[in-house]
Amino acid sequence: MCEIEIWLDRQDFEYDLYTLVRAFYPGSRVTAHCVPSMPKEAKSPQKEQVFLQAWCREAGVYVRYEKEGQEPVCREAAMDVYQDRRETKSRLKQLLYQVLHIATGRTLIWGNLTGIRPVKLAAALLEESADAVQAQARMEEKYYLDPSKSSLCVEIALREKEVLRDLDPQEGYSLYVGIPFCPSICMYCSFSSYPLDKWKKRIGEYVDTLCREIRIVGRLVQRRKLHTVYIGGGTPTTLEPAQMERVLVCLEECFPMDGLREFTVEAGRPDSITREKLEVFRRHGVTRISVNPQTMDQKTLDLIGRRHTVEDTRAAYALVRKLGFDNVNMDLIVGLPGEGVPEIGHTLSQIRKLGPDSLTVHSLAVKRAARLRLFSEEHPEMSFENNSQIMAGAERQAREMGLVPYYLYRQKNMAGNLENVGYARPDKICLYNILMMEEKQTILALGAGGSSKFVTKGGRTVTRVENVKDVTHYLERLDEMIERKKNGMKIWDEEGTCL
């Protein structure tokens, strides 16, 4: 395992360069030093140590790679580093990728891209050229993407454009409602989730506070159009039927639901889904439901702490269909501990038999907050396998089910440095996922951990306003969060579509 040190003179580029180096050296220790200039008497790299320099000089950008026993590798490009920050960062990443490719002999399927939303880049290139072939070629030329990923990005960008063709995202908004409780906390989870058994006595108080936030925010947006609602978590179905009924009635009383395009509830854990809860959703116009197995391998479910069986997943799915829901999503995670090609193939074959209307394939992200990171350190013999062949197999199975890719995003520390992709039947594409992920529309987020995004200037500017993640703080500090939302709404009114 190498120890890599990065020396750079622009701190605002540190994250991108650090992430790209980590992609070339997964599992290695990477340290970044931001200094005005390279120390004149810098020590030479020792065995299994790599030094990288990345500088923005007056005349351009420069990258140098040093490792004991190898010839140094250098690349530079002339440019005005003060004229365009975005272009400077782009050129620096290109040079770093070139140097690391030469030094390691490796290529990355996602090239030098380190951001969350690669489809936005494809959409921008399509606006410039209006030609899919040219946009794909440009992505490969500028970002060094593998053709399989450039074509996927362009395909999704074109599909998103078609889905939004009869909708002006800027004339309305979407609503996210967070229920941060779960039956148990899965080993891989790093979201703001709270175990039901420890918080059951305070869930009523949480619902009270959430309904108060709903009423206040609802009064502030009465003259705007609500396009989609998404209730997520956590696991929203940890609420009892009467508690969920309260939330849904409050939403109907406080927000204009007559023009709603889509209403999703992420029911999630099969062990939390009951007939009574589903009947509440039916009464209140929910149009889309998620039933998320993550895997159909019982050994893995037990290992990661899901506390439900494969049969529970089948039963919950059957119940959802029996009660008339005709838009059902299922999530699975690729890269769970001990799962390889056979286990993932089994999961996909079982999901295929069920026939969901959409399928979201997540590449496991081992984050610092997750217990899975500690598990991986304690059990180095346990594999966390994902690769482009596995993801390609998932894509093939999804397409054979009649599902097409419609949104995509990436995260830090993803297994195999890969991606998350949503597939759906063409008439069952989740509008909220597109609007949220591509930052096409303002999203008002309610509840603990909710992150509102005020999208203005035709989508060119995004202002984030966060609710606190801790449930206790949410219950105590709602007034403070409301004031922050009001400030975000002022920006929305001044820079967005005027009321």
- 403 contact partners, CB below 8 Å, separation of at least 6: 358, 359, 423, 424, 425
Mean pLDDT of the chain: 90
Q: Would you state the pLDDT for residue 369?
A: 45
Tokens 């040219």 found at: 134
Domain spans of the chain, in order of start = 3-104, 118-163, 169-361+428-492
CATH superfamily of 169-361+428-492: tm_1862 like domain (3.80.30.20)
Q: Would you state the pLDDT for residue 200?
A: 85
Q: Is 447's pLDDT higher than 90?
A: yes
Q: Is 39's pLDDT higher than 70?
A: no
- 38 contact partners, CB below 8 Å, separation of at least 6: 7, 53, 55
The pLDDT-based confidence of 365 (bands split at 50, 70, 90) is: confident
Q: Is 52's pLDDT higher than 90?
A: yes
Q: Would you state the pLDDT for residue 477?
A: 97
| Alpha carbon of residue 122 to chain centroid | 17
pLDDT tens per residue, range 116-173: 999 999 999 999 877 999 999 999 999 999 999 999 999 999 999 999 999 989 889 9
pLDDT tens per residue, range 398-415: 999 999 999 999 987 777
Q: What number is the average pLDDT over the span 29-50? A: 78
Q: Is 372's pLDDT higher than 70?
A: no
Q: Is 370's pLDDT higher than 60?
A: no
Please give the Cα distance from 102 to 105 (Å, whole number). 5
Report residue 284: phi and psi, to 5°: -110, 20
Q: Would you state the pLDDT for residue 499?
A: 37
Q: What number is the average pLDDT over the span 278-296? A: 96
The pLDDT-based confidence of 371 (bands split at 50, 70, 90) is: low
Q: Would you state the pLDDT for residue 170?
A: 86
Report residue 336: phi and psi, to 5°: -65, 155
Decide: helix, strand or coil at residue 203. helix
The DSSP secondary structure of 347-367, one letter per residue, reads: HHHHHHHH--SEEEEEEPB--
Distances (CA, A) of 226 to 138, 162, 229, 252, 339: 36, 20, 8, 11, 41
Q: Is 216's pLDDT higher than 70?
A: yes
The pLDDT-based confidence of 377 (bands split at 50, 70, 90) is: low
Q: Would you state the pLDDT for residue 458?
A: 76
- 449 contact partners, CB below 8 Å, separation of at least 6: 178, 180, 191, 192, 467, 468, 469, 474
Decide: helix, strand or coil at residue 58. coil
Q: Would you state the pLDDT for residue 498?
A: 38
Q: Would you state the pLDDT for residue 375?
A: 61
Q: Would you state the pLDDT for residue 40?
A: 59
Fold observed for domain 3-104: Rossmann fold (3.40.50)
Q: Is 457's pLDDT higher than 90?
A: no
- 33 contact partners, CB below 8 Å, separation of at least 6: 5, 6, 7, 8
Q: Would you state the pLDDT for residue 366?
A: 65
Please give the Cα distance from 448 to 59 (Å, whole number). 48
Comparing 3-104 with 169-361+428-492, is the CATH topology the same?
no
Structural contact between residues 233 and 193, judged by C-beta atoms closer than 8 angstroms: yes
Q: Would you state the pLDDT for residue 45?
A: 75
With pLDDT > 70 as the criterion, what percentage of the chain qualifies?
Answer: 92
